[in-house]
């Protein structure tokens, strides 16, 4: 989480860099598709455990215009790829992410159209 990543706009952030008091944890505003975009659903933080699906959460820092996606596969889940979308206050984000078995992954992207 401390490892900086380079975004499309050339800026470098680690997860810790965006957690500066301006971050937003978007459990309800982040939607995930487990069927290649046919349907999307939002979920509470523990729903993945009950539904046996890949757990996906997003953290946004509007001032830095960045979105971090955190995901992992719980035991017994074989979902290797999910589609994540977030739309609010002019910001639009949609991206497919790979989630390897037995690993937690963090992806970072530029958040375009954001209104601080």
Domain boundaries along the sequence of the chain: 5-110
Q: Answer with the residue of higher pLDDT: 18 or 77.
A: 18
Tell me what percent of the residues of the chain surpass a pLDDT of 70. 91
What is the per-residue DSSP string for 73-110?
Answer: PPTT----EEEEEEEETTEEEEEEEE--TT-EEEEEEE
Q: Phi/psi of residue 49, each to 5°?
A: -70, -40
Per-residue pLDDT tens over the stretch 38-91: 998 876 666 677 777 888 888 989 889 899 998 888 777 777 889 999 888 777
For the chain, the average pLDDT equals 83
| Predicted pLDDT of residue 115 | 63
Tokens of 16: 């810790």
The pLDDT-based confidence of 20 (bands split at 50, 70, 90) is very high
Q: Once rounded to an integer, what is the mean pLDDT over residues 15-41?
A: 87
pLDDT at residue 84, rounded to an integer: 92
């Amino acid at each position: 989480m401390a490892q900086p990543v380079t975004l499309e706009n050339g800026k470098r952030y680690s997860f810790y860099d965006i957690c500066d008091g301006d971050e937003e944890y978007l459990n309800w505003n982040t939607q995930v598709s487990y069927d290649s975009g046919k349907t999307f659903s939002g979920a509470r933080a523990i729903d993945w455990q009950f539904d046996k699906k890949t757990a996906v959460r997003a953290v946004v820092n509007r001032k830095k215009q960045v979105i971090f996606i955190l995901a992992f596969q719980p035991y017994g889940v074989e979902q290797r790829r999910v589609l994540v979308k977030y739309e609010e206050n002019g910001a639009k984000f949609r991206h497919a992410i790979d989630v390897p078995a037995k690993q937690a992954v963090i992806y970072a992207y530029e958040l375009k159209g954001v209104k601080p």
